[in-house]
């Protein structure tokens, strides 16, 4: 990191928005879980898309690597630098525009948090379709870059389905502004979709036009307990195609035991497995919920909430899981997408695999069962580097053997780049590399991510 580049960055964004302080950089070089660390030479915080573009141009000309950071909630070390990078933070790009209630859309800066977008939508009588437990720290730019899913994917789809337009600063200093006021627009390449899910390797998303939805007038929430995971999956398969489905979340008893012990939030029902179901629509769907559960193999009576206070209590265990996972230190995380028919078999095999490699670890399984997107977290997992690598590789192989995808909604980041070919053919990877080279010929942007 030359003094010349530092001076250029200060001239672009203002000296107070550039830092080379080692203590500041150290805090920015650790991932959300606290498990992975990197190194950086400088932090720069642009305040506009033009400033982002100018920063990228200056870094390219100086031969500096750039790692993009939003809320730094990546769970696959996607914002951890490896090359003494310049950290480009989008935190100042946090404006949320006025909600267009007629067209049901809003423009937000890439650094706006999910929570800020949700509050703007709610104030306008609308709802944003994506929800995450990290809503007050995850940014919409980062969520688009990883095509995040979350708690409402079964109803509204993933982040990419919410993006109506965006602005992207490219590594050469140009800015792509892809906006349209119409819903149907087939004019040339779908550039917006190209940058969604690219994990910041092709350009830096600086703002987005986001789709909003009407707020359902009626909502009913239930938690059902199961002793058998196959029985739960069977109910989940039925509910995911029901009109009005709003959420379909799996939580295992180990997770609810942790929330009871460390967050004071215990399970509402018995059973080794719990399924949170929420239906929402313009009419009361309580009877529909009861009909669908009437023949299910439950461990007991379900807990049902039709009022806001009860619904909040029923959601507490699922919401609290993320907060208690780190109680024994940084957990080892696996984000996996599986065919529903393979979930039970995978859960059994994964538990056995963990017992073999890390017998003191507690495997905790939860996630979005409607999509087969599960989060396996190994709590109290303390391994040296070689043993962790062996466990991680074995788990990736198990996921692939289970006809799953090694990355569902967290992205590839740096943690899973060595396993990319387990879910993509050589031809797929070659095509992605062609795109990377076209947009970033020298490989300077997010260099540790995806390909490494």
* Domain map (residue ranges) of the chain: 3-91, 105-214, 218-324, 332-426
* Contacts of residue 168, Cβ cutoff 8 Å, sequence gap at least 6: 175, 176, 178, 191, 195, 202, 203, 204, 205, 206
Contact 146, 450 (CB under 8 A): no
Domain 105-214 has CATH 3.30.465.10: yes
Backbone angles phi, psi at 377, to 5 degrees: -115, 130
Q: How far from chain centre, in Å, is Cα 247?
A: 16
CA atoms of 196 and 356, how far apart (whole Å):
38
Of 291, 275, 294, which is closest to residue 236 (Cα–Cα)?
275
- Bridge partner residues of 89 (DSSP): 69
3-state DSSP assignment of residue 78: coil
- Residue 81: the pLDDT is 86
Of 224, 225, 229, which is closest to residue 340 (Cα–Cα)?
229
Quickly name the fold that domain 3-91 has: 3.30.43
- Residue 351: the pLDDT is 95
- Residue 432: the pLDDT is 92
Q: How is residue 387 annotated by DSSP?
A: H
3-91 and 105-214 share one fold: no
Domain 332-426 has CATH 3.30.70.2740: yes
In the chain, the N- to C-terminal Cα span, in Å, equals: 21
Model pTM score:
0.90
The CATH architecture annotation of domain 218-324 reads: 2-Layer Sandwich (3.30)
Backbone angles phi, psi at 65, to 5 degrees: -80, 150
CA atoms of 26 and 28, how far apart (whole Å):
5
Low-confidence ranges of the chain (pLDDT < 50): none
* Contacts of residue 54, Cβ cutoff 8 Å, sequence gap at least 6: 12, 46, 173
104: alpha, beta or left, given left = phi > 0 and alpha = psi -120 to 50?
left
Buried/exposed code over 258-281 (b: 16+ C-beta within 10 A; e: otherwise): bbbeebebebbbebebbbbbbbbb
CA atoms of 33 and 79, how far apart (whole Å):
12
Tokens of 161: 């389905």
Tokens of 17: 């928005």
* Contacts of residue 26, Cβ cutoff 8 Å, sequence gap at least 6: none
- Residue 37: the pLDDT is 85
CA atoms of 126 and 213, how far apart (whole Å):
6
């Amino acid at each position: 990191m030359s003094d010349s580049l530092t001076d250029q960055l200060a001239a672009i964004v203002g000296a107070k928005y550039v830092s080379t302080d080692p203590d500041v950089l150290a805090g920015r070089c650790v991932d959300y879980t606290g498990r992975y660390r990197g190194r950086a030479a400088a932090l720069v915080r642009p305040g506009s898309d033009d400033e982002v573009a100018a920063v990228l141009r200056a870094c390219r000309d100086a031969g500096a690597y750039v790692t993009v950071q939003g809320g730094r909630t990546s769970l696959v070390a996607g914002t951890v630098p490896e090359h003494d990078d310049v950290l480009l933070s989008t935190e100042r790009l946090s404006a949320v525009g006025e909600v267009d209630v007629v067209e049901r859309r809003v423009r937000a800066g890439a650094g706006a948090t999910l929570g800020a977008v949700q509050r703007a939508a709610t104030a306008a009588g609308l709802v944003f379709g994506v929800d995450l437990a990290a809503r007050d720290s995850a940014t919409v730019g980062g969520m688009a870059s990883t095509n995040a899913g979350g708690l409402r994917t079964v109803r509204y789809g993933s982040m990419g389905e919410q993006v109506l337009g965006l602005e992207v600063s490219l590594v050469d200093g140009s800015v792509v502004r892809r906006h349209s006021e119409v819903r149907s627009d087939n004019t040339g390449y779908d550039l917006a979709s190209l940058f969604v899910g690219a994990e910041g390797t092709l350009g830096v998303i600086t703002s987005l036009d986001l789709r909003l939805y009407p707020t359902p007038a009626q909502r009913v929430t239930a938690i059902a307990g199961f002793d058998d995971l196959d029985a739960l999956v069977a109910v989940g398969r039925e509910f995911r195609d029901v009109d009005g489905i709003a959420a379909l979340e799996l939580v295992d008893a180990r997770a609810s035991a942790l929330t009871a012990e460390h967050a004071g939030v215990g399970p509402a029902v018995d059973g080794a497995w719990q399924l949170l179901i929420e239906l929402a629509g313009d009419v009361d769907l309580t009877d529909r919920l009861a009909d669908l559960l009437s023949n299910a193999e439950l461990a007991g009576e379900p807990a049902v909430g039709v009022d806001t206070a009860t619904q909040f209590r029923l959601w507490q265990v699922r919401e609290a899981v993320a907060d208690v996972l780190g109680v024994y230190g940084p957990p080892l995380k696996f984000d996996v997408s599986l065919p529903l028919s393979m979930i039970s078999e995978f859960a059994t095999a994964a538990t056995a695999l963990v017992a073999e490699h890390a017998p003191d670890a507690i495997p905790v399984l939860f996630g979005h069962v409607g999509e087969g997107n599960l989060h396996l977290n190994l709590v109290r997992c303390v391994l040296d580097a070689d043993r962790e690598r062996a466990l991680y590789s074995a788990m990736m192989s198990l996921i692939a053997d289970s006809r799953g995808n090694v990355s569902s909604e967290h992205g590839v980041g740096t943690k899973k780049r060595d396993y990319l070919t387990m879910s993509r053919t050589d031809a797929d990877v070659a095509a992605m590399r062609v795109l990377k080279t076209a947009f970033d010929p020298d490989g300077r942007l997010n260099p540790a991510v995806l390909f490494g």
